[in-house]
Amino acid sequence: MNLRQRIEARLAVGKKFLLMTHIVLGYPSFAVNRQVVDQMVRNGVDCIEMQIPFSEPMADGPVIAKACQNSIACGTTVADCLAFGAEMAATHDIPFLYMTYINIIFKYGYQRFFTAAKTAGITGVIVPDMPPEMDDGFFAAARDHGVAPVLIFAPTTSDARMKELDSQAEGFIYCAARRGVTGKKSQLDAEVIAYLRRCRAATRLPIAVGFGIQSKEDIDALAGVADMAVIGSKTIELVDSQGAAAVGPFIAGLR
C-alpha cells in the first residue's frame, strides 16, 4: 500500500485520530534514535517523520535547528540516514517518511535518493522549500519511485493555492497550525479550526496538523477536524532533559 492507503487503513479500523512524531537523525545519536523510535512505536504512533539534518532548516525553530547542527557536527551523512531509515522500516510496521530540505536531495541526486528511499521502504518525503513551480524533476522522481511528496498548507495559503498544491501532493497534506517555525506552542482557537476546515475542503487527501502541537489538550482540540497530529520539538526536548525512556509515557499520555 502507498502512504495515503496506509493512513486511510489506520483510520478505517476505528482510530479516530492518528499521531505522527518527528526525530532528527543522528541526534543525539543513531543509538538514541533507535531507542526513541522503539518507544514511539510501542506506544501507538502511526507514522514517523525522520529528518535528515540540514545546516539551514528554514521551517524549524531553535530546538530542531540545534539538533540538526549537533548531528551535522557529529558527522551524520545522507547515506547514514538512508541506512537508518531502511533499518527502521524493516523493523517496525508503520509508515516512515523522510523530511529534509531540497539542497540535500538535489546534491545527492533525485534518482539516487529516491531509489534508495524506495529500497528502504520509505513511503513519503516532506521538503518545505520545494514548491511545485520550482520543480526540476523532483516530483516525477518521487512518484516514479512510489515515495509520496507531502506538501504544506499554511494559514496564509489562499484557497486557490491550496488547490494547486493539492494537485501535486500525495500521501497527505501537512497543515502548519500557525505562521512561523516549529517549536512554539500553537493556540488552537476558533480561527485555527476555521483554517483547518478550509484545508479539508481544498484537498482530496488526509490532513495532518503540526507546528506547536505539544499536549493531549492540543490533540483533543484537533479530533474531528483533522486526521493526524504531528509532534516534533516536544519529544526532542524530552530526550534532552529526561532521556529516551521518557518518550514512551509521554506518547501514551496523548491518547
In the set 8, 38, 46, 60, the catalytic residue is 60
Strand partners, 149: 125
Residue with grid cell 493555492, as numbered in its chain? 161
For residue 159, how many other CB atoms are within 10 A of its CB? 11
Which residues are CB-neighbours of 179 under 8 A, at least 6 positions away? Answer: 154, 155, 156
Distance between CA atoms of 234 and 225, rounded to whole angstroms?
22
38 is catalytic: no
Q: Burial, 27: exposed, middle or buried (Cβ in 10 Å; 0-12, 13-18, 19+)?
A: buried
For 53, 67, 188, the CA distances from 26, given in Å and listed in that order, are 8, 9, 32
| Residue 254: half-sphere exposure toward Cβ, Cα within 13 Å | 28
Distance between CA atoms of 15 and 8, rounded to whole angstroms?
10
In the set 49, 170, 218, 227, the catalytic residue is 49
49 is catalytic: yes
Q: Tell me which amino acid residue 80 is.
A: D
Phi, psi of 127 (to 5 degrees): -130, 95
The catalytic residues are: 49, 60
